[in-house]
Amino acid sequence: MREHLSASRYLLGVVPLNEVHFFMDASAKRHGGGHRLIRHNTNTARFMRDYYAGLSTELARQAYLEVMVHIAFDAGMIHLGDVRLMSEYTRALSGKGGPRKLLAQK
């Protein structure tokens, strides 16, 4: 879960919508790796877009993109190293320094 939230934060530049990722991974405990067969598709992206459209069009677009990044991350199209790199760029550009807690390798 933490990796998905970081991917949204650093690759999309947004404050992640936790509920999107909780919804997508709700069956992970029961189905393990097979949970990716459930709620990891474009239908979920459209559902989340439509759900958040009631709040704002910006949140609707963000929810759609977060689902797509989540799917890409789980499919191995985005790697933890990509997220780390963007995290470091963000820290450097914002002037933040010092030790930081790294995401664990899968």
Cβ contacts of 44 within 8 Å, gap of 6 or more: 23, 24, 67
pTM equals: 0.78
Q: Is residue 44 part of a domain?
A: yes
Output the pLDDT for position 58: 97
Per-residue pLDDT of the chain (106 residues; tens, 9 = 90+): 888 899 999 999 999 999 998 888 876 665 555 556 566 799 999 999 999 999 999 999 999 999 999 999 988 899 999 998 888 888 888 777 655 565 665 5
> How far apart (Å, rounded) are the C-alpha atoms in residues 78 and 83?
8
Q: Is residue 103 part of a domain?
A: no
Output the pLDDT for position 23: 87
Output the pLDDT for position 24: 84
Q: Is residue 19 part of a domain?
A: yes
Which tokens go with 65? 């993109």
Q: Is residue 37 part of a domain?
A: yes
Output the pLDDT for position 105: 55
Based on the structure, what is the number of domains in the chain?
A: 1
